[in-house]
Amino acid sequence: MADEMENEGVTDSPKKGPTLSTSTSSFEALDPHDPNLSRLANTMFQKTGDYLYGELTATQEDYKLLENMNHVTVKKYSDMRQIASNVSKSLIELNEKYKSLQPYLEQIDQIDDSVAKLEQAAYKLDAYSKRLEAKFKHLEKK
């Protein structure tokens, strides 16, 4: 019976023979345990901690990247808004200048029409004077 009490919580491993129970409910800090199992558990916890730290760091870096992209986008939109505002002001100024020049442009169009009519009249007058000159020369010969 003493043997049964000694083996309580111990199971036979097919590779190594008897091992300690890994149940956490029967674990106590001062109980002797397998040092290899302890080393492997520490390694596992260290690797798991490293993995989780890497995952959290990657997520944090992703958020930092998104934050930086948002800041750059805000700055670009602000610049574009300023450019659009400047273009709008320039367009308004150009429209006002065009409206102020409109009477002069109409006068230029009228002057152009008058010049074209004068040019036509000058051509007609030139043709008429050439005919008169030819007639005069013809009469002079007779």
In eight-state DSSP terms, residue 17 is E
pLDDT at 35: 85
The answer, as to whether pTM is greater than 0.85, is no
Q: What is the DSSP letter of 34?
A: -
What's the confidence (pLDDT) of residue 32? 63
Q: How far is CA 18 from CA 8, 10, 35, 69, 73, in A?
A: 11, 6, 14, 59, 65
Domain boundaries, the chain: 33-141
Q: What is the pLDDT of residue 19?
A: 52
Write out the two tokens for 106: 């109409």
> What is the pLDDT tens value at each position of the chain, 142 positions in all?
444 444 444 444 445 555 555 555 555 555 567 888 989 999 999 999 999 999 999 999 999 999 999 999 999 999 999 999 999 999 999 999 999 999 999 999 999 999 999 999 999 999 999 999 999 888 888 7
Quote the tokens at residue 127.
């043709």
- Whether the CB-CB separation of 20 and 10 falls below 8 Å is answered with yes
CA distance 23 to 11: 12
